[in-house]
Structure 1
Amino acid sequence: MKTLQNLTHHQFTERTIALGDKAINTGVIIAAFAFSVLPFILMIARLS
């Protein structure tokens, strides 16, 4: 029983870490996109 609990906890932890990595990667992509688009937005805002 204890082994099963440890196993499920380990799987849960791995899954949580994987989800965290995915969230971080998505955040990094969004941040990079925002930083690359920001100058254009500022330029358009200045022109208008």
Structure 2
Amino acid sequence: MKQIREGLTFDDVLLVPQKSRVVPSEIDVSTSITKKLKLHMPIMSAAMDTVTES
């Protein structure tokens, strides 16, 4: 398993809007949570107490 050595926060990343040739209906934003569980939307709760309250 690859080890991640750098972490980023929201202040470290800037997404700049631009034109794209990608057709939205051709995009797959699903995520495999486990081998048997697939999430078909690009939303997951963050494992941070300041983002997700439990």
Give the TM interval when normalised to the shorter protein: under 0.3
Q: Which has the larger radius of gyration?
A: 1
Q: Which has the higher contact order (CA 8 A, sep 6+)?
A: 2
Greater strand fraction, Structure 1 or Structure 2:
2
Greater helix fraction, Structure 1 or Structure 2:
1
Provide the TM-score with structure 1 as the length reference.
0.18
Provide the TM-score with structure 2 as the length reference.
0.17
